[in-house]
Amino acid sequence: MSPDREPSDEQLLAAAVGDEDAFAEFYARFERRVVAFFVRAVGHGDLAADLTAETFAAALESVERFDPELGDAGAWLFGIARNLLSRSRERGRVEDRARRRMGMGVLVLDDRDIERIEASADSGNGALTLLQDLPDEQRDAVVARVLHERDYQDIAGELQCSPSVVRKRVSRGLAAMRNRMKERP
């Protein structure tokens, strides 16, 4: 990695295979977004903290399997987060297997910690909340096109659909977000 330029998320993950500082930087870039995602999804700071810790433990455990040709690092991380959330809802509890395998202890949070976690999600960008509320297909298309500035052809290849389908998903997703923003007081 060049010292002149900040490394991309993908470069950090590639370096994280043998460099824990690279993973720590990746963690710092994504922690707030992952916590906010979980707070919005589950509504409880303590549960969001557990899910966040398990997400990053699972990511660190599988960092060698990350393939940037299959998608960007953020999408990969949030894929892990969505899978953990889904499994957690199915089982009615948060899994902690990855943390246990890595020798990480149980999170101990006091009321102030939980309030801070919940407040950080509430103070986040309202657009991110609206984005998370979109159907998966629209959210993935909007994130790829708007946040990651990828072209429609590239996104279509990844999502295994036509560029016109991607355009429609992006258009519908952004329209839904605009309408929801207008509804807010």
Looking at the structure, do residues 113 and 179 belong to the same domain, yes or no?
A: no
Of 123, 145, 173, which residue is a domain's last? 123
Looking at the structure, do residues 61 and 110 belong to the same domain, yes or no?
A: yes
Report the SS3 class of residue 24: helix
C-alpha–C-alpha distance, residues 143 and 159, integer Å: 12
**At 128, phi and psi to the nearest 5?**
-65, -35
Range of the domain at 150: 125-185
Looking at the structure, do residues 83 and 154 belong to the same domain, yes or no?
A: no
- DSSP conformational letter for 14: H
Alpha helices in the chain (DSSP H): 9-16, 20-42, 45-61, 73-91, 97-101, 111-122, 126-132, 136-142, 152-159, 163-183
Question: What is the distance between the terminal CA atoms of the chain, rounded to a whole angstrom?
Answer: 46
Count up the domains in the chain and report the number.
Answer: 2
- SS3 for 65-93 is HCCHHHCCHHHHHHHHHHHHHHHHHHHCC
Looking at the structure, do residues 24 and 80 belong to the same domain, yes or no?
A: yes
Looking at the structure, do residues 59 and 88 belong to the same domain, yes or no?
A: yes
Of 71, 104, 123, which residue is a domain's last? 123
Looking at the structure, do residues 112 and 136 belong to the same domain, yes or no?
A: no
Looking at the structure, do residues 133 and 83 belong to the same domain, yes or no?
A: no
CATH number of residue 181's parent domain: 1.10.10.10
Nearest to 42 by CA among 86, 7, 98, 102: 86
Looking at the structure, do residues 23 and 100 belong to the same domain, yes or no?
A: yes
Q: Which residue has the tokens 């199915």?
A: 90
Looking at the structure, do residues 75 and 15 belong to the same domain, yes or no?
A: yes
C-alpha–C-alpha distance, residues 38 and 91, integer Å: 16
Structure confidence at residue 99 (pLDDT) = 46
CATH number of residue 97's parent domain: 1.10.1740.10
Looking at the structure, do residues 48 and 130 belong to the same domain, yes or no?
A: no
C-alpha–C-alpha distance, residues 164 and 152, integer Å: 8
Looking at the structure, do residues 129 and 80 belong to the same domain, yes or no?
A: no
Of 71, 95, 123, which residue is a domain's last? 123
- Tell me if the pTM is above 0.75: no
Looking at the structure, do residues 1 and 62 belong to the same domain, yes or no?
A: yes
pLDDT tens per residue across all 185 residues of the chain: 545 688 888 888 888 888 889 999 999 999 888 888 888 777 767 778 888 888 988 899 889 998 888 878 888 998 899 888 888 777 655 555 544 555 655 555 566 655 665 666 554 446 666 777 788 888 888 888 876 778 899 899 988 899 899 999 988 888 888 777 766 54
Please, what is the angle between helix 73-91 and helix 45-61, to 10°?
120
